[in-house]
Structure 1
Amino acid sequence: MKTLVIYSSLTGNTKKLAQAIANEMEDTEIISVDEFRVSMMDNFDFFMIGYWVDKGVCDDKSKEVLKHMLDKKVALFGTLGAKENTKYYDMVKAKVEEQAQGVHVIGHFLCQGSVGEKTMERYREMLKKTPDDIHLKAQLEAYEEGIHHPNEQDIANAIRFAKSLLG
């Protein structure tokens, strides 16, 4: 099955996953969302869309690509700053899949990624103003832990996910 991996990446996290997936799969090409053209779609049977989470949903460029995937077989994968295995992950997946209405989503993978230094600094400044804010402390802690993600295990999990879809 000829596969196109399309990714959007702000800090390099999702690009890292996309490259690892594309390198391990046969008959696969990889492009960034900026390179995507609707005319390319006829050349592929399956699409893997990689996104980064922006305010609880996929980034705008990925949303735009998803609009063109109606009735196509698509797998989603993404990265976000929050710790793994939280209710937030489930909520993000559900919201992204809502945005993909009409798309035949056959799988969805999400893992922690690092956030930009500007985001971490903004949270540090907010915490200085409200040092007792438990939510801010937890968020900053997750961001600091995320510096090490996606790690080798995250990449291996993403590859395993992708391969499982093509059976």
Structure 2
Amino acid sequence: MRTQVLYKSRTGNTEKLAKAIFEAIPGKNKDIAPFQGQTDYDMGDIYFIGFWTDRGSASMDVLDYLGSLQGKRIALFGTCGMGQSPDYYKKIEDNIRVFIEDDNEYMGAYICQGKMPMTVREKYEHMKNSSNKKQVEAMIQNFDMAMLHPDEQDLQGARKFVKEVFEKIEKEEQENG
């Protein structure tokens, strides 16, 4: 079984997760690479596809690649600026998952908070006025919390996710003889 980790990282957050995921994958038959418009759809039997989140989804090139995979086991991982929001993480997962063709086996997703560029905080500061002050201050507070992510706890969560994916595969293979 070959395992391929492909990731798209704009600020380094998803790359951190990708490295933790790669290290947690058992065995030596594995590879890791940044996503750069690859068109090879047979780099592995199991794919861990990483993304950064923009407006609740992944970039179009990652989505196109996902849509081109056939007969693979696919696990997703990603980062987004919004923290501590399992409902939002699930929405992101659902938005991306629809691009995975039915002949693939979907293995789940791991999404955590990631720091954002300082330009985002500056944008929030400029948006603030008397009518939206409370909402914008909450956005700035979230931004400030995100500066520490992904942290060690997030990386541990990614490693745990890999373990769960491989336990699921092992169980399936035992059941199917």
Q: Settle same-fold status: TM greater than 0.5.
A: yes
Shift of 1:75: 0.1
Which entry has the higher C-alpha Rg, 1 or 2? 2
Residues 136/104 of structure 1: CA separation in 2 closer, same or farther (3 Å cut): farther
Rounded to whole Å, the distance in 1 between the matches of 2:163 and 2:91 is 25
**Code of the aligned partner of 1:150:** P
Rounded to whole Å, the distance in 1 between the matches of 2:151 and 2:70 is 32
Rounded to whole Å, the distance in 1 between the matches of 2:117 and 2:147 is 9
Contact 1:6 1:36 in 2 (8 A): no
**Code of the aligned partner of 1:134:** K
Shift of 1:133: 3.4
**CA-atom RMSD, angstroms?**
1.7
Rounded to whole Å, the distance in 2 between the matches of 1:152 and 1:69 is 31
**Code of the aligned partner of 1:65:** Y
| 1:114-164 Cα distance to aligned partner (Å, 9 max, x none) | 01111121111112x346433322222111100000000100110110121
**Code of the aligned partner of 2:85:** N
Residue 122 of structure 1 pairs with residue 123 of structure 2: yes
Aligned to 2:73: 73
**Code of the aligned partner of 2:143:** Y
Identity of aligned residues (%): 29
Residues 130/8 of structure 1: CA separation in 2 closer, same or farther (3 Å cut): farther
Q: How many pairs does the alignment contain? A: 164
Rounded to whole Å, the distance in 2 between the matches of 1:42 and 1:94 is 24
> Which aligned segments of 4 or more residues in structure 1 are displaced greater than 3 angstroms?
129-133
SS of 1:150's partner is: coil
Q: Superposed, which structure 2 residues align to 1:16-165 within 5 Å?
A: 16-25=16-25, 26=27, 27-34=29-36, 36-38=38-40, 41-102=41-102, 103-127=104-128, 129-130=129-130, 132-165=132-165
Rounded to whole Å, the distance in 2 between the matches of 1:43 and 1:115 is 31
Rounded to whole Å, the distance in 2 between the matches of 1:55 and 1:35 is 21
Contact 2:7 2:50 in 1 (8 A): yes
- Structure 1 gap segments, 5+ residues each: none
SS of 1:9's partner is: coil
Contact 2:49 2:76 in 1 (8 A): yes
Residues 131/80 of structure 1: CA separation in 2 closer, same or farther (3 Å cut): same
- Which segment drifts farther, 91-100 or 9-18? 91-100
SS of 1:75's partner is: strand
Shift of 1:71: 3.1
- Structure 2 gap segments, 5+ residues each: 168-177
Rounded to whole Å, the distance in 2 between the matches of 1:164 and 1:154 is 15
